[in-house]
Each structure stands twice: as structure tokens, then as C-alpha cells.
Structure 1
Amino acid sequence: MHGTVLMLLKRYVQTQYDHSTWLKLMELSGLENVEFDHKTVYPDENIYALVGQAAEMTGLSAGELHEKFGEYLVPDLMFMYQKYVQPEWKTLDMIEHTELTMHKQVRREHPENSPQCLM
């Protein structure tokens, strides 16, 4: 999982709950000694552990948490990818062009930060 997503997850938890909740979540996930960096790719198991523990802590399902987090991170992702987005694109256009337009260009310009392939 790309470090940017994990850093946005941290900010989400801190804004929706508080910093101590993030620290507790990291501890319960066995990641208390990890400091996420936006330029690093981490094992997917990290986010699985965090979401699993968050589900236990909140009583929400992992699916519900993914959806809430997805809604939270869209504005940041749109800002990050704005130079690849066409103003006339609607929601389905965004989904259609994520891999072949935005992710392709990010991989070309920043191979060290390569997003996961969606196809």
C-alpha cells in the first residue's frame, strides 16, 4: 500500500477521532514502531491490520470503514492528480481513466511511487 494512502488514513483517524486513537490503533495493529512516509510502499498487510483493528474498535464493518475513508480521501486524491483529470469528466469517466491515464503517468514520472494496478 502506498504510504500516501496510509498517511491519509492517519489524518482521517485523527480528524474523525483523535491522535490518541491513532496511536492505540497502531499499537493494536502491531505497528507502534512504524512511521509511514508518503514516498514508501508498504506491505498491504499494514492497512489490513489497521482496518481490522479499527473495525473492532468502532463496531463498524471493514467495508463501512473503507467506504467512509474513501469518501474522505477523494478530495486529496483529486488535488494530487488534478493535472491528469479532464474538467468534463464525470464519476464514471474518472473510474475509467484512473488506470490508463492517471496511474500510467504517475508510474512514468515517479516509478518509486508506483500505484497499484487496477486492471
Structure 2
Amino acid sequence: MYGVIFEFLRDYVIERHGGKETWQVLLKDNGHSAYKQFFPVAEYPDEEIVGLAQSAAEALQLPLPVVLEDFGAFTANRLLDFYHMYSDPGWKSFEVIENASGSIHDAIHKHNPNRKPPCILARRDSDSLLVIHYQSQRQLCDVAKGIVRGLGERFDEPLSLRETQCMHDGAEKCIIEVSRGTDS
């Protein structure tokens, strides 16, 4: 996992859940110095981000999926800002999602061919319905759902999500239906 995601998690904990002291406690609980720095383009083991997220959920006394989805929503703006060169200024939520695997993940992958991004395939069934197929060995579909919600907030588009199958329930991939519009 790229260090930029750890930076986003740090910002999430600091801004929404108790400040710098809470982040330092989470770092210590996971065997790091309270002043551990993660470098944005460096890679870190997936287990480290999972451990920090689990510790955050325990500290907040919230289920891990709730924390991961909220983190995803928080992260959406930051991801678009950080990777702005891979997106088009005219895109809205559906276009960003449709291009996440193609232009965004593929461009990032060119710089690090060993990275294992999620496979995200999005199919637009209509102007108001997008179906996402998400598959990843990390099984961070809750983060993906949060990112979708965050995109809706960023672009001021009411989005509703319905997960029809999930890897956490034994499925090969997650399928998430995203409806756009005021009547959703």
C-alpha cells in the first residue's frame, strides 16, 4: 500500500477522531514510534494499514466496516487532488469511477509494476445507474463504497449504493449498484 494512503488515514484520525494524540497512540499500538512518518510514494505492507484501521475502529468503538467506509468518504477529495493529473476536470462521480481502473490505476501502475491495485470495472446501465465490479485481495470494498459516497459529496450529486454481492460473504467480487439522482 502506498504511503499516501497512510497519510490520508493520519489526516482522517487527526481531523475527525481525536487529534494528533489519538494518531500517536494508534502508531504506538501497532509497534511504531509515535512520530512515524509514511512517505507518499513508498510502499508499505498491507498489514500495517489494516492494523492501524483495526486499532482506530477499536479506539472509536465502531465496527471496522463503518470506519473503513467513513475513511473512504473522507479520502475521496484527497485522492482526486493527489492524482488530479490522471483525471479530467469535466468529470463527475460516474466518470471518475468509470475511469478509476483505466486511466488512474493504469497510469499509477506504470510507475510501479509490482503494485497490486484493485480491479474496478464500472458499467453504466443508464444515466442514473452505474454497476461497479470490485475485486481485490485486500478486500477493502468498504473503503471503495466510502470513496463513491465521497465523490457524490464532492460533485454535489445524491448517490445511493446497494451492494448485491460481497467478497466478505464468500463472493469472488463485490458488485455495487450506484444510483444517481434526487429520487434515489
C-alpha displacement at 1:79, in angstroms? 1.1
Which residue in 1 is equivalent to 2:21?
Answer: 20
Runs of 4+ in 1 over 3 A off after TM superposition: 87-90
Find the aligned partners of 1:53 and 1:70 in 2 and give their Cα distance: 17
**What residue in structure 1 maps to residue 44 of structure 2?**
42
Shift of residue 88, structure 1, vs aligned partner: 4.1
**Would the aligned equivalents of 1:7 and 1:36 in 2 still touch at CA under 8 Å?**
yes
1:117 is matched with 117
Output the TM-score relative to the length of structure 2.
Answer: 0.57
Structure having the higher Rg: 2
Structure-2 separation of matches of 1:84 and 1:75:
14
> For residues 7-50 of structure 1, what are the alpha-carbon distances to aligned partners after superposition, in whole Å with 9 as ceiling and x for unaligned?
11111111122111011011112223743111211001001111
Q: Structure 2: which 5+ residue stretches go unaligned?
A: 120-184
Within-5 A mapping of 1:66-105? 66-105=68-107
In 2: Cα distance, 1:4 partner to 1:51 partner = 15
Q: 1:35-81 CA deviation, whole Å, 9 max, x = no partner?
A: 31112110010011111111111111111111111111111111122
% same residue: 28
Q: How many residues are aligned here?
A: 117
Greater relative CO, 1 or 2 (CA 8 Å, sep 6+) = 1
- Residue identity in the other structure for 2:50: Y
Runs of at least 5 residues in structure 1 that lack an aligned partner in the other structure: none
Matched, 1:2 2:2: yes
**Secondary structure of the corresponding residue to residue 35 of structure 1:** coil
What RMSD, in angstroms, separates the aligned Cα atoms of the two structures? 2.0
